[in-house]
Structure formats: structure tokens, C-alpha cells
Chain A
Amino acid sequence: AQSVTQLGSHVSVSEGALVLLRCNYSSSVPPYLFWYVQYPNQGLQLLLKYTSAATLVKGINGFEAEFKKSETSFHLTKPSAHMSDAAEYFCAVSANTGNQFYFGTGTSLTVIP
């Protein structure tokens, strides 16, 4: 079975500061891991995904995430926050052979001018 835990339901950062959103996973098989962003009144958009290739994954809008098996983590980072980054972020896990996605409860990012 797979699951993800997102630490911190709300994160606030100043514009230009580092963004760090935490995600820890649990999986009995090699996982695929994903980060999605959801802007208000919109559907989810894929930021990046890990599929067992490079452990450091670069995504859209300057975001990246590092897969750390020893820590069962897949934290999302961005060096410098922009106002447009304010949104809800979801981490998700799936088995590499499966169809079922398991989403975390989400982290709401606020960017302070």
C-alpha cells in the first residue's frame, strides 16, 4: 500500500525567500512520486514527477524535488518565492505498475510581499 504525509498544512514565506514543502511517503513497492499545484478554482497541474531515474527532479516554474529513499522523502523546493506561487500543493504517490494515485492532504503556500 502507498500513502503520503505532507507536513504543514499552511506555509508562509516572504517573496524572494526559499520555499520548502515537505512530503514523506510510504510504499511497499518502488514508488512513483508527484507534486501537483492547484490554483484557486482550477484543477490540479503537474509540477514534476519522480519515476526512478534521476533522484533530483526539476519541474516547471523553477520548482525541484529530491527523492531520498533513506529518508522516504520527496520535498519540494524553490530558491526564490514569487507572489504567483501562492497556491495549494499536493504530493502524490503511485506504484510504478499501478493506476491508483494517493494524494496527501495538501499544503497551502502563502507568499508575503
Chain B
Amino acid sequence: EAGVAQSPRYKIIEKRQSVAFWCNPISGHATLYWYQQILGQGPKLLIQFQNNGVVDDSQLPKDRFSAERLKGVDSTLKIQPAKLEDSAVYLCASSLPGTAAYNEQFFGPGTRLTVL
């Protein structure tokens, strides 16, 4: 079974530029999550999708971050414009439908973003 795929694995940009990350979840997983993991901290949930609908985006900085999952499969996370404090690893995870507490989340390898 293929795991969660993410690309690119690494990205370096200058502040005020835009960047996009892509995630393809495990086949059949209706729930998709994006996390931000700043160096030295644990992952923080940015947004959760159930199919193509948003379940929770309470911690997404909506003035600069956006995410979509138009067909309920793969997803993109965009930052526009980027700030220095956005430097982090962005993790995508997927799970079967249901609450995050009940169903195991499977994580991708992450995209490491460096903002200069």
C-alpha cells in the first residue's frame, strides 16, 4: 500500500514570495490533515478536510495561508506572501473517516520550507 506522498520535499524562498505544497493521501482515506512543525516544536494542525469539505481550520492563518481539496483526493497548501516565521516542515496526513482521535493518521515525509 502506497503511503502519503508529498512534494516538494524541500523548498527555499525569499520572504514575500508565494509557495505551494502538494499532498496525495492514501487511497480511500477521506480525511486529510495539514500540520505545521516548527523546529523544536510538535506539529500543529492547520486544517482538516473530510472529502472536499473543511472540518477544522481554526488554526490556519487565513490572511496568508489557503488550502484546497477540490476533488476530495489530493490537496494543496499555499502560502502567499511568506514570512520568515513560516519556516517549518509542513506535514500532510490522512486517515479513514471519523474523529482524529479514533482513526490512525498516516503521515507523509513532509516538505521543509525555508524562508530567507
Which residues of A are at the interface with B, using a C-beta cutoff of 8 A?
Answer: 9, 32, 41-46, 49, 51, 90, 92, 94-106
Contacts and interface: CB of A to CB of B under 8 A. Distances in A.
B44 A98 contact: no
Contact of A43 (B42, B56, B108): B108
A48 to B, nearest CB: 11
Interface string B48-74: 100000011010000000000000000
Contact of B42 (A41, A45, A104): A104
Interface in B73-112: 91, 93, 99-102, 104-110
B28 interface: no
Given A99-B55, A99-B56, A99-B99, A42 B109 contact: yes
A21 B104 CA distance: 21
A-B CB proximity, top 5 nearest: A103-B42, A43-B107, A94-B101, A32-B101, A99-B100
Contact of A51 (B44, B45, B91, B101): B101
11 contacts: A43-B106, A44-B107, A49-B104, A92-B42, A99-B99, A99-B101, A101-B105, A102-B42, A103-B43, A105-B42, A106-B41
Contacts of A97: 99, 101
Contacts of A106: 40-42
Contacts of B56: 99-100
Given A32-B101, A103-B42, 18 more contacts: A32-B102, A43-B110, A44-B43, A44-B107, A45-B107, A49-B104, A94-B101, A95-B101, A96-B99, A97-B101, A99-B48, A101-B43, A101-B105, A103-B43, A103-B44, A105-B42, A106-B40, A106-B41
A46 B95 CA distance: 12
B4 A51 contact: no
A90 B55 CA distance: 24
Contacts of B40: 9, 105-106
Nearest to A95: B101
Contacts of A43: 3-4, 91, 93, 106-110
A16 B82 CA distance: 46
